[in-house]
């Protein structure tokens, strides 16, 4: 017989997952956009908690740092400055709700179809690894951060750099879009 606190500790992932879902539901259901952003922030923090309970502490912290600290602030800026009229929506669900419901049901069916085995089946004992010879080095790492940096900066350097070039293209594009009005 284990102590109830230990049970809670083992089920941290489920707890944070349910809390994140509650936050996400709040995003959809709240009438003010700023409230939605707060719900989004809550959901992001809970997802960081999920990562932490899976011992992916670097990922969890990056989640807080990048999403909660950076991206949601930008969301908040946009929402605050656009929603100056203070007009709150009359109904929770908008005109598109019919199509949205159909899309959501289709998506849910596809999700259950794809993840049927994951949800109801038995988990595989071994992780799926595309190139096993590269993971040898990872077992030396003491921390998440070390393993991740090894993966990013030595084993998968080229894909990483190509990804950052794509981000650079997006950045330049944003600058060009913002500049054209003034020239």
List residues binding other proteins (CB under 8 A). 3, 5-6, 9, 32, 34-35, 38, 41, 45, 57-58, 60-62, 64-65, 68-70, 73, 76-77, 80, 86, 142-145
- In the bound state with other proteins, the residue whose beta carbon lies nearer, of 131 and 142, is 142
For residue 44, CA distances in Å to 24, 34, 35, 68 come to 9, 15, 14, 6
Smallest separation (angstroms) from other proteins to the CB of 26: 11
The token pair at 16 is 């944070």
Tell me whether residue 73 or residue 168 sits nearer to other proteins (CB atom).
73
Nearer to other proteins, 2 or 126 (CB): 2
Q: For the CB of residue 60, give the shortest distance to other proteins in the complex, in Å.
A: 8
The label of the residue with tokens 């071994």 reads 126
DSSP 5-52: HHHHHHTHHHHHHHHHHHHHHHHHH-SSHHHHHHHHHHHHHHHHHHHH
- Which residues 6+ apart lie within 8 Å of 35 measured at CB? 26
CB of 103 to other proteins, least distance (A): 30
Is 134 or 141 the residue whose CB approaches other proteins more closely?
141
Minimum distance from residue 64 beta carbon to other proteins (Å): 4
Rounded Cα distance, 53 and 61, in Å: 12
């Amino acid at each position: 017989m284990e102590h109830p606190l230990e049970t809670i500790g083992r089920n941290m992932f489920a707890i944070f997952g349910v809390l994140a879902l509650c936050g996400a539901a709040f995003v959809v259901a709240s009438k003010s956009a700023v409230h939605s952003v707060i719900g989004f922030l809550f959901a992001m923090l809970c997802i960081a908690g999920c990562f932490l309970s899976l011992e992916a502490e670097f990922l969890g912290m990056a989640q807080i740092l990048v999403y909660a600290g950076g991206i949601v602030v930008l969301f908040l800026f946009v929402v605050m400055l656009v929603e100056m009229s203070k007009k709150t929506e009359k109904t929770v669900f908008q005109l598109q709700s019919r199509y949205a419901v159909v899309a959501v049901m289709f998506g849910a069916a596809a999700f259950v179809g794809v993840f049927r085995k994951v949800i109801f089946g038995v988990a595989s004992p071994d992780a799926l690894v595309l190139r096993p010879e590269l993971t040898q080095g990872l077992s030396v790492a003491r921390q998440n951060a070390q393993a991740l940096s090894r993966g990013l900066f030595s084993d998968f350097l080229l894909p990483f750099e190509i990804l950052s070039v794509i981000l650079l293209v997006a950045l330049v594009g944003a600058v060009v879009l913002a500049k054209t009005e003034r020239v």
